[in-house]
Amino acid sequence: MKNLLVALFSIIALASCSTYESEVPLGNPGDTELDDKFLGKWILSEEKKTEEVSGHIEIIPFNRQEYLVQIIEYADSTDYLESILNFRMFPSKIKKDIYYNLQMLGTDEKSSFLIYKLKAISGNRYKLLYLAKDHFEKQFNSTGEFRKYVESNQKEFNKTFMTEGVLSRKVEK
């Protein structure tokens, strides 16, 4: 069985062919308040499966405007830590929708932004949606230009998101 979390690592770390990359974020850090309900440990799984994964995603406050997202993977379902990827993330609210700007930390070159959305399912479960490169190809020179486009075309923009999986709060044993 292919590890579902490894699939997420690959998508984010390598900016897979299907994930849209932007040189500019959709908003600026601090434009939208952080929501404490997203802090903590999360598991990403496929929509229809609840299989065991060998890692988790931890979201902690990075500063007052941004989250630190750590993707933590363990080797072979053991306690041996295999890898940790660090990202900064901050929300951008446009009308009633909140989008999340995600950027990898620690790379030598300028890292692009990936855009995500969450759709509440129930309780501590959310559908994780990513902006798909196959459905959205526009590039923007500034955050203001990107934001203005989304404000004017939000309904069409929201149709360009695809399902990554389901985020569920990790239950500690």
CATH of the domain at 111: 2.40.128
| Confidence band, pLDDT 50/70/90 cuts, at residue 33 | confident
**Residue range 35-66, pLDDT digits in tens:** 998 999 998 887 666 555 567 889 999 998 99
**Residue range 65-118, pLDDT digits in tens:** 999 999 887 666 556 666 778 999 999 999 999 999 999 988 666 789 999 999
* Predicted confidence (pLDDT) at residue 28 exceeds the cutoff of 50: yes
Quote the pTM value. Answer: 0.83
CA distances for 121 relative to 4, 42, 72, 75, 149, angstroms? 19, 15, 24, 30, 28
Average pLDDT on 145-169 reads 95
Domain of 134?
A: 4-169
130: Cβ–Cβ under 8 A, 6 or more apart, which residues? Answer: 11, 18, 19, 20, 114, 115, 116, 161, 162, 164
> Half-sphere exposure of 13 toward its Cβ, with a 13 Å CA cutoff?
14
Instruction: Give the per-residue pLDDT at 101.
Output: 97
| Confidence band, pLDDT 50/70/90 cuts, at residue 12 | very low
Q: How far apart are alpha carbons 146 and 139 in whole angstroms?
A: 8
Q: How far apart are alpha carbons 65 and 122 in whole angstroms?
A: 26
Number of domains making up the chain: 1
Are 136 and 157 in contact, with CB atoms under 8 Å apart? yes
Instruction: Give the per-residue pLDDT at 50.
Output: 53
Phi, psi of 59 (to 5 degrees): -115, 120
19: Cβ–Cβ under 8 A, 6 or more apart, which residues? Answer: 11, 12, 114, 130, 131, 132, 133
